[in-house]
Structure 1
Amino acid sequence: MATAQGVRQRGKDGSKKRADDSTAFMNGNSSASDTLDGLKRTSKKAVTSEWDYKLALAVITVLAFVTRFWGISHPDQVVFDEVHFGKFASYYLQRTYFFDVHPPFGKLLFAFAGWLVGYDGSFLFENIGDSYITNKVPYVAYRSMPALLGSLTVTTVYWIMWESGYSLPACIVAASLVLFDNAHIGQTRLILLDATLVLFMALSVLSYIRFYKLRHDPFSRKWWKWLLLTGINMSCVISTKYVGAFTFFSIGVPVMIDLWDLLDIKRKQGPLSLPDFGKHLSARILGLIVVPFLMYLFWFQVHFAILNRSGPGDDFMTPEFQETLSDNLMTQQAVGIDYFDNIAMRHKETKVYLHSHADKYPLRYDDGRISSQGQQVTGYPHNDTNNLWQLIPSQPMDGLGHHVKNGDIVRFRHLVTDTWLLTHDVASPSMPTNQEFSTLTVEEANGPRFNDTLFEIRIENGKPGQEFKTMASHFKLIHVPTKVAMWTTQTLAPLPEWGFKQAEINGNKNLVQSSNIWYVEEVPGIPEGSPRLVKDEKKTKSMPFLKKYFELQRAMFYHNNALTSSHPYSSQPIQWPFLLRGVSFWTENETRQQIYFLGNPVGWWFASSILAVFAGILLADQVSVRRGVDALDTRTRSRLYNSTGFFFLIWAAHYLPFFIMGRQLFLHHYLPAHLASALVAGALVEFIFNIEPADLTNFTDAQVQEGKKAAGGLKTGRPRSASKPVRERVAGQSLLATWAAAAVIVAVLVWGFLFFAPLTYGKPGMTVEQVVRRKWLNYDLHFAK
């Protein structure tokens, strides 16, 4: 009994209670000032008595490193999305410009790992299954970076619970849900970004908790330190993936509520003057907005500084951007375009050529609409003579050699069929809102329908009178009479059989869309020795950083939102908490080995059920209070709503937004939310099994009735605390129950982890029977037959 009481007493008087009270997030009651007084009265003995927490932290950290690093050299082949992020690291080491939809911080860490071991980035991770050994790639160094970050994530989860004042069993349960989770392990043993994302998301939560605990010592050195660390960690999250914005929301909500409380003139700690409130507001804006944004920009500055050579990412950028890269083919091969040149125009997004052939549009489309029955104009992916158009001036010109300029009004003659390009007020084959593109005979084009063949060349970011060039001039072709742009897009379905499954070209009324952009790939037929082919030595140009940054941001957001195509292993958010399916990362037929990305089902189902339990507890408490029964004491309710509620907010902020996303989604997108659910689970274990001795009473029936009467009918009367022996006995029973529950949970987690470990580590190979035993929810595992 003495031991149990000693543990609970530490929780009441030591740092555990301080952490618990101080993480009563969004709580404005008077317990805060009492907490500060308690903090000042804490004895050195109370602090040093937390050896059990420190020992558990050490054990959990060691286990985290073991589970993440064990067998990390297997397989010695490219696995799943290592083809992307390993390739990006190699491009950094080669200083070759590439394009990706994610910000640079996580990828820079991989490049840093390669640089540390002296790798030159010669291997480009082209295909899943390519051998690292054959190509002499230091892949273990690459994989060690996320494994290190993933190991520290487990430590951070434990630390969050410890700083939040939860009991040792609760800390162990929360950390174990991440420690023994197969999905977290599998994702952090490979060259992938999620280890970086999840760690800094957890560090953001930890930093904010530490900052919040210092709210009664504002503007002190430690207060500033943890405020700035919160902002820096959040910046690292969003600098890895844009879903880091969810972490900003998670922290932003309690920050705004805290500011709202500081504004209250009736605060127990005394009102703040408006100048003092302004200082608090300014400090948070600086630490949580300005500093993170500057850090975010810093990583892009590093990105641009490293990638100074032309590479595969050039095509995503404007010609002005490409001219800042050395060895750029566009800059070296650009040729000025003259009137009467034959040109091949190519769509920037889809890479199809503007094409025409003698076949006509059908009289009626499948939906009953009538076409013009004109000659088809389509997008064709291959180089062909039917892609050539002669560029004709709209006004007569004497002789040859007149350069085409930005803003010129021109016409296009299709060489093979000797017809003239036009668009008119006829609906396109698949889009009634867009105009059909077709061609006319010479007689019609030079007669009554002359105006329908007029187009304006509008160079993107071009200056008035700028020369029109191949490759270097990205342009929009605007129809003069109707003001529509020649357009196609990747999401547009190909034409039916009558259109030979080619891409549809139509007139788009929305002129600002980037998918309206084309470029001239070549001007065939220029005689050798022509002065137009003489190239002066081109020097790389400079471009303001912010201009490069905003251009890249636009491209990243556009292509990120365009990731809507189906994938065999994509899944919907509703499936994630229940772990209904995973992702096949790698297989080897000879050894029957496979890596299948899947969480620990036991842990995921337990954490998901705890989320439902938490919501049920809050609902039951609210209903009870409405009916005049106050079943929870103030401190317990404060922790339940504020500390555990904060964890629940983190889960919701990192999960619910995916329901409104239209892009491809996979199970790994749930990992930050799963970490938050682990925090909720640890907190609820303590709430369910733990009873505070100080809140126990040993009332007779008469005393209970007296208490109800004194409280006006509410069950809140506290006429007398229980005796010390009763409190000690219940404290021991409560602690034993909490430890027993934690032991059972951890044991089951370990069993689930070991059972699915062959799918996580990719070894050993399994028999058909062993694979089938693991198809719990019809997981699409390989070698099941």
Structure 2
Amino acid sequence: MAEKDVAVASGAAPSGDAARRRHVPGPAASGAPVSQPQPTDIKIHGTKKSPSILQILDDWEFIIAPLIFTALAAFTRLWKIGLSPIVTWDEAHFGKFGSHYIKRELFFDVHPPLGKILVGLSGVLAGYNGSFEFKSGETYPQELDYTFMRAFNAFWGILCVPLAYFTAAELNLKRPAVWLVTLMVLCENSYTTISRFILLDSMLLFGTVATVFCWSKFHRQQNWSDFFVTAMVGLYTIEDLWNKFGNTKMSYPVLAAHFSARVIGLIVIPFLVYLFSFALHFAILTRSGPGDAQMSSLFQANLEGSEIGRNSPLEVAWGSKVTIKNMGYGGGLLHSHVQTYPEGSTQQQVTCYHHKDSNNEWWFYPNRSVTDWTPESEPRMINNGDFIRLIHAQTGRNLHSHDISAPITKSQKEVSCYGNLTIGDDKDHWKVEIVKDVSSRDKTKLRTLTTAFRLKNAVMGCYLRAANVNLPQWGFKQIEVTCDKKNNPKDTFTHWNVEAHTNEKLPPGDPGKYKSPFLHDFIHLNVAMMTSNNALVPDPDKQDDLASQWWQWPILNVGLRMCGWDDKIVKYFLLGNPFVYWVSTGSLGLVGLVTIWYILRWQRGFKDLSPDEIDQIHYAGLYPVLGWFLHYLPFVVMARVTYVHHYYPALYFAILSLGFLIDFTLRKQQKAIQWTIYSVLYAIIIGLYIFFIPICWGMTGSNQQYKYMKWFDTWRISD
């Protein structure tokens, strides 16, 4: 009897080349499907061998274990979820956004809309009418089922646990390591806490976990296209295609098919999903609301209840009072206020501002050479090529520019407000240059909403411009307005339109009947989101007790109080499981050291690792570390305000890294040693999770009774 047959007949699994020959027969080389032997149907010399109890348990473990972990996740995420009846932490923001969706009122936020739409959906399913204002610390009204809305949000956090299980299994970790990864996600206190409120974090975490699962599945099967895209998956795809490009046995049609599948799966489909979320956003929010000013004037004119374009005179004349909107993506309203520049001319500041107030109002006046016109005169229409003045309605000063560098963009000139109706010079004069008009081919008249025009300073020869550069705190983080000497008619940041227009001497018109194109609105809103996000920088003049630094997160240096700390309030503290944080952080460096160690030994001629083990280090070890860096480094380099929950997606990759490291270290040890070490790890993770569970489920009474959890002064669990 051949050696291979003896192995099968004795019930032992063949090893080495024999195993590979048995499980990968000839057709696999040509890409034909391979029929794998089923453990419950093994033929030995023409007879069937009944599966053992261990084999049956092994098969069912893949179903039973995830169900048990999911049930535990549901319990830990839902238990006492409605205990605190007050608006907690960022529920004040995202609950309010959900209310806007229910009332269909346009609002603005720096986050993409899909998660907020789901918050609105949870409110609809809860029977909520959108009338509650979600003020921080306010008690929820009886008619608002906040418990259901929180449970809806917890659903996404619950799903992260079984997805972590299947991801670890797809990364070819052994069963104890799969359980370890799943247990760390299940028993991560911060994941539990963040899933129990009306927030976007559990949805974001679910998206990250789902993406990594899809990537791991793709790597194992190589016949599946991902619906999500991250930088890590993108880098993996580049490497994967590069390897296939180097396979000279692969035909060009097959290579092209691989490339096309990835372009569609990783670029086209995710972009369409992202695009669809904004289409849904615009389709739902059809009424005027607090976010109007972030959108183009034409978009606003088509909102229900908007005053933009309603009864506004169509053509603009001397004596018209207007607001002027920048037409660049993310552009705001031309604005001024009594505050002055701290340097440069020290004259009155001119900015762009997205919120509507009286400081956005300007008068169109003729230039100083026109002496036969007064505000009481009959209106004269403004034509292309006319030289005009813009008078700030609140302060009476002239829009002005001069040969002084702008405060931020030094290559361009400062724009200020200067003088008054009688005091000034020719640098107050601006030439109207009409670029286009969506309502007519006639470019001779300046019209409300529909006309795009530029303003050229008569003396300086530069163009009024606002390009989403934020001023420092002295300028209230508003957008810098400059005068640019570059004459680029296609630069939309030098394009302006009249948004609001009042002139009692002119007949009303209806310019709001013209629609704004969807793609323009999509780009406009995304640029506005990025601009506002970039403006979220720490204010040195203000103390933010909730903010934290990037270096504090991996070492669990700080936590975060999610609400008031009064004895009568149910208190929640956002803090991670110390073991999960500290050991997963250490694993990141150790994975790198292990990799370097084996690379050095390989260079010296040692053959320690099989091809399968090298592949395991590559994909199950290095890629999670890469994913951690890609999710963590942006917060290191960016200047915006940061909080502990920004680390949670990166933490998931650290957990995977730790799972790989322990699995790779122990997989060749004896079973008794493996299970002893894993049992200790399980006990520590579960024990610490239970120890800190009050911060997740809610601390009642005096905070002093919980000071036993305050291991460090920076953990502000008790005063």
87-96 or 590-599: bigger deviation: 590-599
Aligned partner of 1:316 in structure 2 is 294
CA distance 1:417–1:257, shift in 2 (3 Å): closer
Aligned partner of 1:704 in structure 2 is none
Secondary structure at the counterpart of residue 587 of structure 1: coil
Of 202, 222, 232, 1:250 maps to 232
Secondary structure at the counterpart of residue 75 of structure 2: helix
Aligned partner of 1:40 in structure 2 is 36
- Give the residue type in structure 2 aligned to 1:191: I
Whether 1:128 and 2:148 are equivalent positions in the alignment is no
Whether 1:261 and 2:234 are equivalent positions in the alignment is no
CA distance 1:510–1:79, shift in 2 (3 Å): farther
Whether 1:453 and 2:428 are equivalent positions in the alignment is yes
Aligned partner of 2:173 in structure 1 is 166
Of 584, 587, 592, 1:615 maps to 592
Quick one: distance in 1 between partners of 2:62 and 2:196?
27
Aligned partner of 1:52 in structure 2 is 61
Post-superposition Cα deviations, 1:603-626, rounded to whole Å, max 9, x if no partner, equal 111111111211111122222223
Q: Shift of the alpha carbon at 1:72?
A: 0.8
Of 713, 716, 719, 1:778 maps to 713
Quick one: distance in 2 between partners of 1:547 and 1:191?
31
- Give the residue type in structure 1 aligned to 2:246: D
Aligned partner of 1:391 in structure 2 is 365
CA contact (8 A) 2:122 2:149 kept: yes
User: Can you give the 5+ residue segments of structure 2 that lack an aligned partner in the other structure?
Assistant: 1-6, 41-50
CA contact (8 A) 1:325 1:540 kept: no
Secondary structure at the counterpart of residue 545 of structure 2: coil
CA distance 1:10–1:315, shift in 2 (3 Å): farther
- Give the residue type in structure 1 aligned to 2:37: R
Quick one: distance in 2 between partners of 1:642 and 1:292?
23
Of 283, 300, 317, 1:305 maps to 283
Whether 1:578 and 2:530 are equivalent positions in the alignment is no
CA distance 1:165–1:430, shift in 2 (3 Å): closer
Quick one: distance in 1 between partners of 2:139 and 2:112?
28
Of 617, 621, 629, 1:652 maps to 629
Quick one: distance in 1 between partners of 2:512 and 2:418?
42
CA contact (8 A) 1:494 1:503 kept: no
Task: List aligned pairs for 1:406-555, cutoff 5 A.
Answer: 408-412=386-390, 421-427=399-405, 434-435=413-414, 437=416, 439=418, 445=424, 449-450=425-426, 452-457=427-432, 462=437, 464-469=443-448, 477-482=455-460, 483-485=462-464, 491-494=471-474, 507-509=482-484, 532=507, 534=508, 541-555=514-528
Q: Shift of the alpha carbon at 1:429?
A: 7.5
Post-superposition Cα deviations, 1:109-137, rounded to whole Å, max 9, x if no partner, equal 22222222332222232x11111135x21
CA contact (8 A) 1:157 1:174 kept: yes
- Give the residue type in structure 1 aligned to 2:261: A
Quick one: distance in 1 between partners of 2:625 and 2:164?
14
Aligned partner of 2:688 in structure 1 is 752
Aligned partner of 1:602 in structure 2 is 579
CA contact (8 A) 1:97 1:307 kept: yes
Of 588, 594, 603, 1:626 maps to 603
CA distance 1:509–1:535, shift in 2 (3 Å): closer
Aligned partner of 2:44 in structure 1 is none
Quick one: distance in 2 between partners of 1:742 and 1:629?
30
Considering only aligned residues, what root-mean-square deviation do their CA atoms show, in Å? 4.2
Quick one: distance in 2 between partners of 1:295 and 1:97?
21
CA distance 1:36–1:601, shift in 2 (3 Å): farther
Post-superposition Cα deviations, 1:520-548, rounded to whole Å, max 9, x if no partner, equal 7675xx66xx554x566x87553332232
CA contact (8 A) 2:399 2:418 kept: yes
Quick one: distance in 2 between partners of 1:505 and 1:214?
52
CA distance 1:502–1:745, shift in 2 (3 Å): closer
Quick one: distance in 1 between partners of 2:145 and 2:98?
12
Secondary structure at the counterpart of residue 644 of structure 1: helix
State how many pairs are aligned: 666
CA distance 1:416–1:752, shift in 2 (3 Å): closer
Aligned partner of 1:98 in structure 2 is 107
Whether 1:110 and 2:119 are equivalent positions in the alignment is yes
Post-superposition Cα deviations, 1:683-725, rounded to whole Å, max 9, x if no partner, equal 211111221xxxxxxxxxxxxxxxxxxxxxxxxxxxxxxxxxx
Post-superposition Cα deviations, 1:722-760, rounded to whole Å, max 9, x if no partner, equal xxxxxxxxxxx6222222222212211222222222222
Quick one: distance in 1 between partners of 2:656 and 2:365?
66
Q: Shift of the alpha carbon at 1:315?
A: 0.8
Whether 1:661 and 2:638 are equivalent positions in the alignment is yes
Post-superposition Cα deviations, 1:414-434, rounded to whole Å, max 9, x if no partner, equal 799987553221356788654
Quick one: distance in 2 between partners of 1:213 and 1:48?
24
CA distance 1:774–1:35, shift in 2 (3 Å): farther
CA contact (8 A) 2:389 2:430 kept: yes
155-164 or 335-344: bigger deviation: 335-344
- Give the residue type in structure 2 aligned to 1:324: N
Quick one: distance in 2 between partners of 1:769 and 1:159?
40
CA distance 1:521–1:605, shift in 2 (3 Å): same
Secondary structure at the counterpart of residue 586 of structure 1: coil
Q: Shift of the alpha carbon at 1:592?
A: 5.6
Secondary structure at the counterpart of residue 128 of structure 2: coil
Q: Shift of the alpha carbon at 1:466?
A: 4.9
- Give the residue type in structure 2 aligned to 1:551: H
- Give the residue type in structure 1 aligned to 2:536: L
Post-superposition Cα deviations, 1:83-127, rounded to whole Å, max 9, x if no partner, equal 2211121111112112222222111222222222332222232x1
Post-superposition Cα deviations, 1:187-235, rounded to whole Å, max 9, x if no partner, equal 11111112122212222222233333333xxxxxxx3xx32xx21xx1x
Aligned partner of 1:341 in structure 2 is 319
Q: Shift of the alpha carbon at 1:185?
A: 0.9
CA distance 1:602–1:352, shift in 2 (3 Å): farther
Q: Shift of the alpha carbon at 1:329?
A: 1.8
Secondary structure at the counterpart of residue 233 of structure 2: helix
- Give the residue type in structure 1 aligned to 2:173: Y
Quick one: distance in 2 between partners of 1:687 and 1:414?
70
Aligned partner of 2:209 in structure 1 is 202
CA distance 1:152–1:353, shift in 2 (3 Å): closer
Secondary structure at the counterpart of residue 594 of structure 1: coil
Quick one: distance in 1 between partners of 2:279 and 2:363?
42
CA distance 1:57–1:39, shift in 2 (3 Å): farther
Quick one: distance in 2 between partners of 1:503 and 1:292?
33
- Give the residue type in structure 2 aligned to 1:82: E
Aligned partner of 1:738 in structure 2 is 674
Task: List aligned pairs for 1:143-222, cutoff 5 A.
Answer: 143-215=150-222
Quick one: distance in 2 between partners of 1:690 and 1:209?
20
Post-superposition Cα deviations, 1:410-453, rounded to whole Å, max 9, x if no partner, equal 124679998755322135678865436353588885xxx53x22
Q: Shift of the alpha carbon at 1:350?
A: 8.1
Secondary structure at the counterpart of residue 677 of structure 2: helix
Secondary structure at the counterpart of residue 166 of structure 1: coil
CA contact (8 A) 2:299 2:521 kept: yes
Q: Share of identical aligned residues, percent?
A: 27
Aligned partner of 2:45 in structure 1 is none
Secondary structure at the counterpart of residue 424 of structure 1: strand
CA contact (8 A) 2:165 2:182 kept: yes
Aligned partner of 2:531 in structure 1 is 558
Task: List aligned pairs for 1:221-240, cutoff 5 A.
Answer: 223=223, 226-227=224-225, 230-231=226-227, 234=228
Quick one: distance in 2 between partners of 1:382 and 1:312?
9
Quick one: distance in 2 between partners of 1:184 and 1:504?
37
